[in-house]
Amino acid sequence: MDDPTSAFDRAVFEPAAGASRFDWHPEPAMFDLAAAPARKVLEDLGRDAWALALDYLYDEALVRPVGPDSYQQLRDQFFGPSGAPGPAPAVPSPSSAVLDEVRARLVPFEYNAYHPRSFAYFTPPPLPMSVVGEMLSQVFHQGIDVFHSGPVGALVEEEVTRWLADLVGAGPDAWGVLTSGGVMANIMAMTVARDRHLARLTGADRPPRGALLGLARVYVSDQAHFSIRRALDMLGFPPEALVVVEPDEGYRLRADPVARRVAEDKAAGLVPLCVVAVCGTTNTGSVDDVPALADLARREGLWLHVDAAYGGAARLSPRDAHRVRGLELADSVTVDPHKWLFQAYDIGGLVVRRREDLHETFRSSPEYYRSAVPEAEPLNWLEYSMEGTRRLRALKLWTSWKHVGTEGFARLVEHGIDVAAFLAAEIARSQDFEAAVAEPDLSIVCFRHLAPGMSGAELDAHQDGLQRALEVSGEAWVSTTRLRGRTYLRAGVVNWLTTAKDALGLLESLRRLALGRSVSPQGRSQASPSRTATGPNASST
């Protein structure tokens, strides 16, 4: 009988001695993982990649917070004369060449979250064990949507989200799910409020849509995260569904003005649906009056969502938990571990008081996700999330929490609060700076440099120019924000490497730059960009 194996099959399954079906690549062992040389090749790749990572950390990230390049300068540097992306590479390259290109084209131009004088945004450096957990999760390559594509990974996420539920004080019936970040968590929370709570309020026998959404009202302050407005828009609510209530002088949402708006809306025949409180606003780090808002929500039948993406981690500290009171009273809470739990991007979290609310909102059972043993009821995370396929996000938080413990997280958070309080106190003692909020609720300090003779728009432009001059100097980095029509420098102390000395160094750098810089009509510093860095311990004299 003729051999049924075709010539093609024999070439695939029985390659010539010493040959590989991946010989088209200069490093075939990176694809032929079962071949003898593969492990050594991958060990070498790992060593080279880790060496590159450490070179970045010590030669770049700890040297300056960010490069001086403007957006256009960076585009020109990265793309070359065309100023636009080139074609995809047509032929293979050795891994060493790829790493060399990473070193040349990427490493010098990163935003360096590790730098202790990087005070911008909510971007702390990740803990080393978080980086390890992220790397392992990518190698494990678990799909956390249905149980059989990530069996033990599903249980790791269940354990980690239980820890997050305990963090916010949710009860035993609570359930959490990991998301890409706070935006996705807030969108999902608003989806649950619409499909479950609005249905209860209106007596609908199905998730409300159409005209019913036009009656609903959601109450926020002007410091609420943009994702709440985005969520309502995506979910089909009209623009007037979002009711913006003026916060107090400390940028905190209070219950009384919300109660007045609720009463007015009820009298007009509308349906108050939800109040969104923030524990750690993006602009100022202010914390809304959650206990009073919870009382209002209970009286008026509102869903209470608390955006504690940043501030929720303060609950881990026995000393500072009082700063974010009332999370246990919420119907849903956003917590963002890649903020103050120092996790590698990306990982957010949503905790809902009642597991069935989350499950009924997102439950889905595609026919290709059947279980061979349906009575076993495996945990399918697809039924609790807007997302489908998700990687094993939980592992990096699991490894980090095991490594530092709740006590360790508390120490890191407390350190940030202490440094921010020190910075605020230094500003209060100075004659040339003023703060938007004298005593920060958490670890965000918004302040202005008071240049002699400047006021109004000119003083606003001065802050923008000063921020750019600081960026070019490489000594430190802050962002800017707008508060009640005025521009402020915004220093976020969320880096566990930052010290009080760095806070002093920030003010010293700003003072020196304010004396030496000139300002264009657009408020841009006239200093020339330079790659010369001063390092994390630099200070002016």
3-state helix/strand/coil string of 424-470: HHHHHHCCCEEECCCCCCCCEEEEEECCCCCCHHHHHHHHHHHHHHH
Q: Distance from CA of residue 227 to its chain's centroid?
A: 12
Residue ranges of the domains in the chain?
Answer: 143-391
Q: Distance from CA of residue 490 to its chain's centroid?
A: 17
pLDDT of 18 reads 61
Task: Give the Cα separation of 535 and 537 in Å (integer).
Answer: 6
Strands lying side by side in the sheet with 486-492: 433-435, 444-449, 486-492, 479-483
Q: Which helix (H) or strand (E) holds 404?
A: helix 394-429
**H/E/C letters for each residue in 341-396?**
CCCCCCCEEEEECCHHHHHHHHCCCCHHHCCCCHHHCCCCHHHHCCCCCCCCCHHH
pLDDT of 441 reads 96
**Cross-strand pairs, 444:** 492
Task: Give the Cα separation of 340 and 226 in Å (integer).
Answer: 20
Q: Which helix (H) or strand (E) holds 91?
A: none
Return the DSSP state at 32.
-
**Predicted TM-score (pTM) of this structure:** 0.90
Task: Give the Cα separation of 534 and 528 in Å (integer).
Answer: 15
The tens place of each residue's pLDDT in the chain, 541 residues long, gives 555 555 555 555 555 556 778 999 999 999 999 888 999 999 999 999 999 999 999 999 999 999 999 999 999 999 998 989 999 999 999 999 999 999 999 999 999 999 999 998 888 999 999 999 999 999 999 999 999 899 999 999 999 999 999 999 999 999 999 999 999 999 999 999 999 999 999 999 999 999 999 999 999 999 999 999 999 999 999 999 999 999 999 999 999 999 999 999 999 999 999 999 999 999 999 999 999 999 999 999 999 999 999 999 999 999 999 999 999 999 999 999 999 999 999 999 999 999 999 999 999 766 555 555 555 678 999 999 999 999 999 999 999 999 999 999 999 999 999 999 999 999 999 999 999 999 999 999 999 999 999 999 999 999 999 999 999 999 999 999 999 999 999 999 999 999 999 999 999 999 999 998 644 433 333 443 444 333 433 333 2
Task: Give the Cα separation of 497 and 491 in Å (integer).
Answer: 15
pLDDT of 4 reads 54
Q: Which one, of 491, 511, 488, lies nearest residue 436 by Cα?
A: 488
Q: Which two tokens stand for residue 356?
A: 């069935």
Please state the φ and ψ torsions of residue 228, each to the nearest 5 degrees. -70, -45
538 in Cβ contact with 484 (< 8 Å): no
- Could you tell me which CATH number the domain at 143-391 has? 3.40.640.10
Please state the φ and ψ torsions of residue 527, each to the nearest 5 degrees. -65, 145
Strands lying side by side in the sheet with 303-307: 175-179, 348-352, 332-335, 303-307, 271-278, 216-221, 242-245
Residues in the chain: 541
Q: Which helix (H) or strand (E) holds 271?
A: strand 271-278
pLDDT of 368 reads 54
Instruction: For residue 83, give the amino acid letter.
Output: G
pLDDT of 377 reads 73
Task: Give the Cα separation of 312 and 272 in Å (integer).
Answer: 26
366 in Cβ contact with 357 (< 8 Å): no
Other Cβ atoms less than 10 A from the Cβ of 9: the count is: 11
Q: Could you tell me which residues come within 8 angstroms of residue 265 by beta carbon, excluding any fewer than 6 positions away? A: 217, 243, 271, 272
